[in-house]
Amino acid sequence: MRNPALLALLFFAPGMAVAEARCSDARIDLRWQDGSESLAVEVADTVGERAQGLMFREALDPAAGMLFVYETPKRASFWMKNTLIPLDIIFADVTGTVIHIHEGAVPGDLTPIDSMGTISYVLEVNAGLAARLGIAKGAEFRHPAIAPDLAAWPCDE
């Protein structure tokens, strides 16, 4: 008989192929022209959680990130106050399509980082990950927070 706990560990291991993944609040799937990836993700979907973000953290797992979810589409601006690790900040519209990537945000920098358009989702990952994987404008997110009727890549695909 198969062990369900062991199967869950195998299916949700960091860096697993997207084909093996199931849409989960604890993961975000990304796909782009030349690839795909699934990352562990913390969701920041309240005002307080978004304000805190990744501040004061000394490390972020290489296969993880934080997904900021906004109730309504908006132009957003981020800064790195009290953020100790360099980040790539990936901005996506209401469909989960990437519209802008700010690579290598500098820890502690107070310079505003603009979304460069109307967004509904922001994914923060370790600096360099976007370039290393080849994630670019036009890439798509898949996550349960993205409304299925609007999603470029819905969870049921």
In 3D space, the residue among 130, 126, 113 whose CA is nearest the CA of residue 57 turns out to be: 126
| Domains along the sequence of the chain with CATH | 13-142 (2.60.120.1140)
Confidence check: pLDDT of 9 > 60: no
Listed in sequence order, the residues at least 6 apart from 112 whose beta carbon sits closer than 8 Å to its beta carbon are: 77, 78, 79
> What pLDDT shows up at residue 76?
96
Report the C-alpha gap between 106 and 23 in whole angstroms: 31
Structure confidence by residue, pLDDT tens digits, 72-92? 999 999 999 999 999 999 999
pLDDT at 12 over 50: no
CB-based contact 90:122 (threshold 8 Å): yes
pLDDT at 18 over 90: no
Q: Is the pLDDT of residue 19 over 70?
A: no
- Amino acid identity of residue 58, one-letter, is E
Query: Radius of gyration (Cα) for the chain, nearest Å?
Result: 15
Contacts of 110 (CB under 8 A, 6+ apart): 79, 80, 81
Q: pTM score > 0.85 for this model?
A: yes
**Each residue's pLDDT tens digit, 23-69:** 999 999 999 999 999 999 999 999 999 999 999 999 999 999 999 99
Which among 85, 78, 84, 81 has a CA at the least distance from the CA of 101? 78
Q: What pLDDT is stored for residue 126 in this prediction?
A: 98
Q: Is 117 left (phi over 0), alpha (psi -120 to 50) or beta?
A: left
Q: Give the model's confidence band at 13: pLDDT under 50 very low, under 70 low, under 90 confident, else very high.
A: very low
Q: What's the pLDDT tens digit per position in 87-119?
A: 999 999 999 999 999 999 999 999 999 999 999
